[in-house]
């Protein structure tokens, strides 16, 4: 694990972040680290993306975990993220970006896409001043069935 299979390509500075997740989480086969504009904005606001506005967002994203800041590319960040990956499959990295983990690349991409849409919906409903979240009963039911 961790062998560069494309030696002509230089690994990302976040290589250890990915590797530490794989080492710690044996059931994880895919990791995406990205910086989508809307979801990443919440990392800079230390805000909460409301994943309880739609059933799809709740089922796919659950409650994303906010991870404290550490310098990008650092061993500290790789360690913090790997520890938090035990508690959440979607992480918002303070003043940085997003991490999603799962069993396949398609699954983790889906999580990233739905999180970005949930971030947009959170901002739109805040601006409009009108939102109707799922009830606690519906949230519990979705969590039980999908999370």
The one catalytic residue in 14, 63, 94, 116 is 14
DSSP letter for 9, please: S
Q: Output the six-digit token pair for 124.
A: 């739109």
Distance (Å, rounded) from C-alpha 85 to C-alpha 97? Answer: 15
93: three-class secondary structure by DSSP: strand
Q: CB within 8 A of 91, min separation 6: which ones? A: 64, 65, 66, 67, 81, 84, 85, 98, 99, 100
How many helices (DSSP H) and strands (DSSP E) are in the chain?
6, 4
Residue 14 bears catalytic tag: yes
- Residues annotated as catalytic are 14
């Amino acid at each position: 694990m961790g062998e560069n299979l494309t030696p002509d390509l230089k690994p990302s500075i976040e290589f250890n972040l990915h590797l530490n997740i794989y080492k710690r989480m044996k059931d994880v086969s895919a990791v995406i680290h990205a910086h989508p504009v809307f979801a990443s904005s919440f990392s800079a606001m230390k805000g909460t993306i409301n994943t309880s506005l739609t059933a799809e967002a709740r089922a796919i994203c659950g409650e994303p975990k906010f991870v404290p800041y550490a310098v990008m590319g650092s061993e500290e960040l790789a360690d913090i993220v790997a520890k938090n990956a035990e508690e959440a499959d979607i992480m918002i990295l303070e003043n940085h970006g997003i991490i999603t983990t799962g069993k396949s690349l398609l699954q983790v991409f889906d999580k990233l896409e739905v999180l970005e849409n949930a971030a947009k919906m959170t901002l739109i409903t805040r601006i409009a001043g009108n939102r109707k979240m799922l009830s606690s009963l519906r949230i519990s039911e979705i969590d039980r069935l999908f999370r």
